[in-house]
Chain A
């Protein structure tokens, strides 16, 4: 899978690039609109991460360019601009998702994964990890082919954990992911613990491996035993 990151803030770009690069992803980075348009014209990407404010132009111009070239890449806008108008304009110009800065890298990663899943959707939409199979559409989880009773929030959490396999997820990253729009008003992140506990219990009871590890003082990590 190939990603293109268009971001002029070098420090931010390097960290994103590092986090997203793994066995599935290759992440290329450009820092100007011109370079971005050059790249887009030559190569195809699975997903484009686009900052709206670039030194030599507006991110919307890149969206228009993509539209003109009939490109169907998945596009996630990552911007510090957060108004309803820019969101709507972004979506109208063909963006698939919108992430406001600052964000957690884990959040960006699951959004990229979800977008690619949607784009490559071929009849079924299943995320698997060893004996665990998650059907995204029907919101069902099977462990060793047995369906388990699980809430929507827990599926969300499970996808977040699996998507960030082998990476440490901070409590606040999980809390912000789970609370969505409400995150800005939420001061207390203790509810994450209860969700993790429940999820762990349900998976264990169904005979799954103990993949959720606590990382002292920081949060949690999904790790293959």
Chain B
């Protein structure tokens, strides 16, 4: 799936931030904890110094029990024997809170009046654990706010930054070489975007020029061909009048005649296509297709007779469209003649009008046609046939310039072409 440019940068930011959070949170936690433990140790050691300096020298043997009684967190133990200072974690059951709580404890040996004891003192870590938790929460909160801020600022900034880019993109998207005029890109304050716009502008200009010259070429070529074609035609017409034409020559002339006539049709249809591209048929009127079909039905029926085709019609009383009259007639004739041409002996044609849809269906080859090529110029299902290969591309072109849709489908052995007006 394609992602939007903006989301892509934001996503990278987000991943980076979450990663930093995940790594930094425990790091921060342990660093704080270490710091705090060190603080506790320092306190214990300070207490030890105080004890040795001020208390130990004055403490009597008999006072020990009393001293122990009034010092909840310090004890002088005669049973336990340690040889050196030891700092460690321990836990004791707190009767007040009714839970086991963590402590930091210092044990060290002392000699009182020649007798060795172990002095042990502990500091409750509970409060600091709470502190730690609070610090962690605060830390998370700050980082989150920072991240969100970053996220929105980046988003807004990028949006602004990429604005000319999206504008250009939209202009290119709506550009059609044969319809719209060239897009006019506004100057931006970013060098890269200006470069992009200039390059696109140049590209479009170049292509439009090529497109135009090609269009002109087709029209000019078709036009220029008309005079030699006319000479060709009349020369054959003259030649066939000769009385000394043999049967063999007559066959050759007949074939020449058919081909010059085909060439002629091809040329006329190419001219029609290029004229449509040049907007020569832009004036529109309201036309009744029903009338047109009925008016020319004799002609089509006559063409269908050769193949003994059955024509079924479901015409609406008044099926009106807005179009250039010449093009509307060409459209109907092409669809009708197409349905006749590609039909089978004794086949059928049906013409149906529904709301804003006209459908021509015909029997024909027993498999669906290749839709990729169907509406392309000079694509023929059977290359040897006499057709110009332009009929359906003319239909498509007429539909395109009127913003209609042409669709083909194959169902129940019928090939259907529908125009959605």
**Chain A residues in the interface with B (C-beta under 8 A):** 9, 11-12, 15-16, 18-19, 80-84, 100-106, 153, 167-168, 170-173, 176, 179, 181-191, 194, 215-219
14 A–B pairs (Cβ distance < 8 Å), ordered by A = A15-B237, A18-B238, A168-B240, A170-B237, A171-B254, A184-B268, A185-B330, A189-B258, A191-B303, A191-B306, A194-B302, A194-B305, A217-B251, A218-B250
Q: Does B53 sit within 8 A of A, measured CB to CB?
A: no
Evaluate contact between B251 and A103: CB separation under 8 angstroms: no
Partner-contacting stretch, out of B134-142, B162-170, B198-206, B383-391: B383-391
Interchain CB contact under 8 A, B257 and A101: no
B271, B388, B391: the one contacting A82 at CB < 8 Å is B271
Taking CB atoms, residues of chain B closer than 8 Å to A106 are: 237
Given contacts A101-B230, A184-B265, A194-B305, contact A218 B241 (CB under 8 A): no
Q: Is the interface of B mostly helix, strand, loop or mixed?
A: helix
**B227→A170 contact, CB < 8 A:** no
Contact of A102 with B306 in the complex, beta carbons under 8 Å = no
Interfacial chain A residues near B226, Cβ < 8 Å:
80, 100-102
Bound Cα distance A176, B275 (Å): 22
Q: Tell me which of B66-74, B333-341, B351-359 binds A.
A: B333-341
Residues of B within 8 A of A84 (CB): 280, 326
Q: A172-B261, A182-B333 are in contact. Are A15 and B223 (CB under 8 A)?
A: no
Contacting residues, chain B, for A168 (C-beta < 8 A): 240-241
Q: Choose from A81, A191, A217 the contact partner of B305 (Cβ within 8 Å).
A: A191
Taking CB atoms, residues of chain A closer than 8 Å to B257 are 170-172, 218
Confirm or deny: B234 has a beta carbon within 8 angstroms of a beta carbon on chain A: yes
Q: How far is the CA of A71 from the CA of B280 in the complex (A)?
A: 33
Q: Which residues of A contact B264 (CB under 8 A)?
A: 102
Instruction: Give the A-B pair count, Cβ closer than 8 A.
Output: 131
Contact A185 B337 (CB under 8 A): yes
Is there an interface contact between B247 and A15, defined as CB atoms closer than 8 Å? Answer: no
Pick from B230, B236, B280, B306: contact of A103, CB under 8 Å: B230
Q: A103-B233, A104-B233 are in contact. Are A215 and B250 (CB under 8 A)?
A: yes
What is the CA–CA distance of A219 and B261 in the complex, to the nearest angstrom?
14
Beta-carbon nearest neighbor of B250 in chain A: A217
Q: Determine how close the nearest CB of chain A comes to the CB of B223; give it in whole angstroms.
A: 6
Please provide the chain B residues from 364 to 388 with a CB less than 8 Å away from any CB of chain A in the complex.
385-388
A175 CB, nearest partner CB in chain B, Å:
8
List residues of chain B with CB within 8 A of the CB of A194: 302, 305-306
**Is B3 part of the binding interface, using a Cβ–Cβ cutoff of 8 Å?**
no
CA distance A181 to B295 in the complex (A): 13
Cα-based distance from A167 to B302 in the complex (angstroms): 26
A187 lies within 8 A of B341 (CB): yes
For B116, what are the chain A residues with a Cβ–Cβ distance below 8 Å?
none
Q: Give the CA-CA distance A149 to B227 in the complex, in Å.
A: 41
* Neighbour of B385 across the interface among A19, A100, A187, A191, CB < 8 A: A187
Closest 8 CB pairs of A and B: A102-B230, A101-B230, A80-B226, A15-B234, A172-B261, A217-B254, A217-B251, A102-B233
Q: Could you mark each residue 268-287 of chain B with 1 if its beta carbon is under 8 Å from any beta carbon of chain A, else 0?
A: 11011001000010000000
Task: Select from chain B the residue with minimum beta-carbon distance to A84.
Answer: B326
Residues of B311-350 at the interface with A, using a CB-CB cut-off of 8 Å, are: 326, 329-330, 333-334, 337, 341
New contact pairs (20) apart from A19-B234, A153-B298, A179-B299, CB-CB < 8 Å: A12-B230, A19-B241, A80-B227, A83-B280, A84-B280, A101-B230, A102-B230, A106-B237, A176-B261, A185-B265, A185-B334, A186-B303, A187-B265, A187-B388, A188-B303, A188-B341, A191-B302, A194-B306, A217-B251, A217-B253
* Shortest Cβ distance from residue B285 to the other chain A in the assembled complex, whole angstroms: 13
B299, A15: Cβ atoms closer than 8 Å: no
B residues less than 8 Å from A170 (CB atoms): 236-237, 240, 254, 257
Residues 70-99 of chain B, each 1 if its beta carbon lies under 8 Å from chain A, else 0 = 000000000000000000000000000000
Check if A104 sits within 8 Å of B254, measured CB to CB: no
For residue A153, give the distance in angstroms from its CB to the closest CB of chain B.
8
A19 touches B238 (CB 8 A): yes
Is residue B186 within 8 Å, beta carbon to beta carbon, of the partner chain?
A: no
A19, B240: Cα distance in complex, Å = 11
B383 to chain A minimum Cβ distance, whole angstroms, is: 14
Cβ contact within 8 Å between B258 and A188: no
Find out whether the CB atom of B391 lies under 8 angstroms from the CB atom of A167: no
Interface residues as binary, B252-263 with A (CB distance below 8 Å gives 1, 0 otherwise): 011001101110
Residues of B within 8 A of A181 (CB): 329
Cα A182 to Cα B340 with chains together (Å): 14
B231 beta carbon closer than 8 Å to chain A: yes
B24 CB, min distance to chain A CBs, angstroms: 78
Interface residues of B in 209-250 (CB under 8 A from A): 223, 226-227, 229-238, 240-241, 247, 250
On chain B, the residues within 8 Å of A153 by CB distance are 298, 302
